[in-house]
Structure 1
Amino acid sequence: MFLYRVLISLFALVAAPGALRDGKLRARLGLGPAVRGRHVWLHGASNGELTAFKPVLLALHAARPDLHWLITSNSRTATALVESWGLERVTARPAPFDLGWATRRIMRSWSVTALMSLESEIWPHRVLHCPGPVLQIAARMKPGTARAWRRLPRLAKAVLRRVDWASAQDTASRDALLALGLRPESAGPVIDLKAFYDPPDTTPDPVLRAAFPREDTWLAASTHEGDEAFVLDAHSALRQRAPGQKLVLAPRHPTRGAEIRAMIEARGLTVAQRSRDEPPEDCDVYLADTMGEMALWYQLCGRVFIAGTLSDRGGHTPYEPAAFGCALLHGPDDANFQPAFARLRDAAASVEVHTPEALCDALHALGDADAQTAGGNAAKTALAQDSDLNGLIEAIAQRLPDPDA
């Protein structure tokens, strides 16, 4: 524990100037006014984890009007996201450094009665100083993280013995947690929160629907630098074989729109840019360089290439396109969602490609009927879980402090 205190103190010293510039230093030190009432402290690193947990939060929030919620995160956008939900009895704050004195201050001033952490967020002082139950939801333990914990075996065992219930994201994470010290009776079902994705009920604009027939349109979802050249080369080749095919290209970072447009035009492809409100008709590539519209593109496109899978980024979610019944294609790097991609491969419910030529072949082979069948198989396979959403909510609710306690 001494070594951890030294390391986390050094980290806080290094990070403090940046927190001061951002106006977050007091919050990172556990300072600032607290809200009265018994609180569950919920921590998620960023938007993705908190968005995935939102259906669970809403159910618990409604079921337990006696509890308040302190929700912390590591990013400003995640804090703003929680605030945008407008929930009573919910307060969003930047995550504090895991310093012992700062953690104890928060536990006292916010009357914390339970701690819940999402995915990879296991912070020793929070776990050890929590006066009530500690729950790890969709806990994730990468091999590198597990190796780091094994270098501190006494700390790992002390922390994980204190966890009352941990639902791991995958079997490898569950096994790693058990090997590091999690009590077998504290191991819950294997659950990935992102598999509970509930597609929004939206209706695409008729102009977009007419411009992009689902059977003739494919999507490159959340592309990074290096992905665009790959998918554009594939699309150029695809249009040689099927001239009516269209591509919706949605970059992960819309600020790269001008750069990507230049790449499209350099290949002799026509382009319409979403951020410029350019008409979508009669373009070879529709550059969807906007935020918050991915569900719209999943609805319009029958085939989806999941970007971030071509290098060392670990890939993006297969759950969202699967929920829309899209046929799935991806590269070899699936580390972020390895269990889901493994299930998809085992069920022949996705296609892994390594070259633009292979992507072109796969897209061409997926005719409308085949794409619909593949999309249905992907939905059934990717979204399979050891427990349903109601089961997860019930398991958590059973472990929250009694209202009369």
Structure 2
Amino acid sequence: MRTHPATCPAAGTSAAGERERPGGRRFASGSSRTIAPSHGPWQTKDMVLYRFLMWLAGLSLRLRAALAPWPGAERLRAPEPPEGAGPVVWLHGASNGELAAARPVIAALRSALPGLRLVVTANSLSGRDLVQGWALPGTAVRLAPHDDTRTLKRFLDAARPAALIVIENELWPNRLRLAAARGIPVFCLAARISERSAGAWRRIPGLARSVIGAITWLAPQDTASRDRFRALGLPEDRIGPLMVLKSAAGAIDAAPLPCPRATTLLAASTHAGEEAIVLAAFKRALAARPDLRLILAPRHPRRRAEVEAAIRDAGLAFATRSAGAEPDAALPVYLADTLGEMDRWYAGAGMTFVGGSLVDRGGHTPFEPAAHGSAILTGPHVANAAPAYAALLAAGGAIEVTDAASLAAAILGLADSRAQVRQAEAAARALAPFTAGAAVAAFLAALARETGPPLKGAADAVQA
């Protein structure tokens, strides 16, 4: 019978009653966290196969890096420790959206622990560049290490983190396995897991037990995710309050656009197959309201050529951000094909269609347009933020559309500043319960409890 990692005995206990981490580091014996050993459940068939596959992938990456310069080679190198002498926390987010949403967490950590050093990692170059642009003192920013044992050991040896913070659904098995083996507490914030992903984990139970057993504390994004993590074996005492980080990020001041806000529609984070529907709807609405303008911001700017072709097929004139053009009131469409400027587009649009929802991609969160007071339009596919959209639709804080005809009708109905204000006010009321402030405070308390003296200041800050 396999033993759950959470029930395995600690790797060692000092005479002072503190459990000892590899390398002589300790954390308080009062912590509920145990150190997962390097044998037993970590050696399940699923985990052994995963480790072998990651070893092969790592070998391939090393060969590629040896043959020619390649930005991704950064994933294989040990990080440069951040400047300073304080404890280190490793924070990881997949890309721009997750890391931008994590800014309240970073701010709370730095406020609670002024001497704290951060190692922030991202899967994408754009995510890494976003955080580097914040110029945070005492912070090292880099691409996330590849999930093979050799690379991760070098990373952990160099960074020596007191804790690992994972944003949303970045549950990499080797990363969590090695963190747990070294007694590094793992905190998952705004954790989200779909029914499809939960089903996939259930089909590899050995790997699932290893990953779930490595989690010290988890704040789920919604009740459905909470129930799925619980069903996968996460104990109740490791589950914190609901946390929706993107609701806490708030709006950022942005330069105004030349087009009137009330007649400007932003199609945000659109996916393949979606732009054609949006453009057809906009063209239909434009025939009735020639003063309408569209800002089209695809989720992945690398799809630029595909989206440009869709605009041409629709017979609409446009300017392109990546070519250096600014929005032009004389042109009906503006292609916002860059990263890091979404706040400007949200601020300049009285209406926002949130992409990934007319095609089955689960949608994107409504918090960014709501923070800017932009009226929200969405398709029916919103599984990634279902509770928030349910609250919005029930309160009249969003309009659901299903095709080009219904989207065109919604655009025409909202192309009025008074209608936009009414809907934005309803959205603000509907989304108020999703604030992350209390959940972030609960995280800081859990962080202090699980790490002990290295991050004890966090507990003092929470109690103050």
Q: How would you bin the TM-score normalised by the shorter chain?
A: 0.7 to 0.9
1:246 aligns to what? Answer: 293
TM-score by length of 2: 0.76
Q: 1:5 aligns with which of 48, 51, 55?
A: 48
Report the residue type matching 1:49 in the other structure. Answer: E
Report the residue type matching 1:304 in the other structure. Answer: T
CA deviation after TM superposition for structure 1 residue 154, in Å? 5.0
SS in 1 for 2:265: strand
Aligned residues of 2:187 and 2:218 also touching (Cα < 8 A): yes
Tell me how far apart the structure 2 counterparts of residues 309 and 223 of structure 1 sit (CA, whole Å): 8
CA deviation after TM superposition for structure 1 residue 329, in Å? 0.9
Q: 1:221 aligns with which of 253, 262, 268?
A: 268
State how many pairs are aligned.
Answer: 399
1:230 has 2:281 as partner: no
1:353 aligns to what? Answer: 401
Aligned residues of 1:340 and 1:382 also touching (Cα < 8 A): yes
CA shift in 2, pair 1:257/1:134, >3 Å:
closer
CA deviation after TM superposition for structure 1 residue 259, in Å? 5.2
Aligned residues of 1:246 and 1:285 also touching (Cα < 8 A): yes
2:117 aligns to what? Answer: 68
Aligned residues of 2:165 and 2:187 also touching (Cα < 8 A): yes
Greater shift, 55-64 or 167-176, is seen at 55-64
SS in 1 for 2:89: strand
Greater shift, 222-231 or 326-335, is seen at 222-231
* Unaligned residue ranges in structure 2 (runs of 5+): 1-41, 457-464
SS in 1 for 2:453: coil
Q: 2:195 aligns with which of 136, 140, 143?
A: 143
Aligned residues of 2:177 and 2:210 also touching (Cα < 8 A): no
Greater shift, 345-354 or 16-25, is seen at 16-25
CA deviation after TM superposition for structure 1 residue 85, in Å? 2.5
CA deviation after TM superposition for structure 1 residue 324, in Å? 1.0
Query: CA offsets per residue over residues 93-128 of structure 1, 9 Å max, x none?
Result: 332334445544544443322222121122341342
Greater shift, 146-155 or 357-366, is seen at 146-155
Tell me how far apart the structure 2 counterparts of residues 233 and 58 of structure 1 sit (CA, whole Å): 42
SS in 2 for 1:248: strand
CA deviation after TM superposition for structure 1 residue 13, in Å? 1.0
1:199 aligns to what? Answer: 251
Report the residue type matching 1:87 in the other structure. Answer: L
Tell me how far apart the structure 1 counterparts of residues 232 and 121 of structure 2 sit (CA, whole Å): 26
Aligned residues of 1:79 and 1:93 also touching (Cα < 8 A): yes
Report the residue type matching 1:56 in the other structure. Answer: V
Question: Over aligned residues, Cα RMSD in angstroms?
Answer: 2.9
CA shift in 2, pair 1:57/1:278, >3 Å:
closer
1:402 aligns to what? Answer: 453
Tell me how far apart the structure 2 counterparts of residues 266 and 285 of structure 1 sit (CA, whole Å): 13
CA deviation after TM superposition for structure 1 residue 370, in Å? 2.0
CA deviation after TM superposition for structure 1 residue 265, in Å? 4.8
CA shift in 2, pair 1:247/1:31, >3 Å:
closer
2:229 aligns to what? Answer: 177
CA shift in 2, pair 1:63/1:201, >3 Å:
same
Q: 1:391 aligns with which of 441, 455, 463?
A: 441
Alignment map for 1:4-83 (pairs within 5 Å): 4-18=47-61, 20-21=64-65, 22=70, 24-25=72-73, 27-28=75-76, 31=78, 34=81, 38-83=87-132
Query: CA offsets per residue over residues 16-69 of structure 1, 9 Å max, x none?
Result: 4235433655743x6466567632222222222122112211231243244322
Alignment map for 1:242-391 (pairs within 5 Å): 242-254=289-301, 256-257=303-304, 260-261=307-308, 263-274=310-321, 275-277=323-325, 280-366=328-414, 367-385=416-434, 387-388=436-437, 391=441
SS in 2 for 1:333: coil
Tell me how far apart the structure 1 counterparts of residues 312 and 74 of structure 2 sit (CA, whole Å): 49
CA shift in 2, pair 1:42/1:238, >3 Å:
same
Higher relative contact order (CA 8 A, sep 6+): 2
Q: 2:133 aligns with which of 84, 107, 112?
A: 84
Tell me how far apart the structure 2 counterparts of residues 395 and 308 of structure 1 sit (CA, whole Å): 35
CA deviation after TM superposition for structure 1 residue 343, in Å? 2.3
Aligned residues of 2:87 and 2:116 also touching (Cα < 8 A): yes
Report the residue type matching 1:213 in the other structure. Answer: P
SS in 2 for 1:250: strand
Tell me how far apart the structure 2 counterparts of residues 196 and 333 of structure 1 sit (CA, whole Å): 23
Aligned residues of 1:104 and 1:129 also touching (Cα < 8 A): no
SS in 1 for 2:140: strand
Query: CA offsets per residue over residues 275-321 of structure 1, 9 Å max, x none?
Result: 35367133333333443322222222211111222223222331111
CA deviation after TM superposition for structure 1 residue 260, in Å? 4.2
CA shift in 2, pair 1:284/1:300, >3 Å:
same
* Unaligned residue ranges in structure 1 (runs of 5+): none
Tell me how far apart the structure 2 counterparts of residues 126 and 259 of structure 1 sit (CA, whole Å): 41
CA shift in 2, pair 1:88/1:292, >3 Å:
closer
Tell me how far apart the structure 2 counterparts of residues 6 and 371 of structure 1 sit (CA, whole Å): 54
Query: CA offsets per residue over residues 351-384 of structure 1, 9 Å max, x none?
Result: 1211111111112222432221112212332353
Aligned residues of 1:98 and 1:126 also touching (Cα < 8 A): no
Q: 2:219 aligns with which of 154, 167, 173?
A: 167
Tell me how far apart the structure 1 counterparts of residues 112 and 314 of structure 2 sit (CA, whole Å): 56
Aligned residues of 2:374 and 2:424 also touching (Cα < 8 A): yes
Query: CA offsets per residue over residues 301-349 of structure 1, 9 Å max, x none?
Result: 2111112222232223311111111111122222332332232223332
Tell me how far apart the structure 2 counterparts of residues 283 and 362 of structure 1 sit (CA, whole Å): 22
Aligned residues of 2:163 and 2:184 also touching (Cα < 8 A): yes
SS in 1 for 2:129: helix
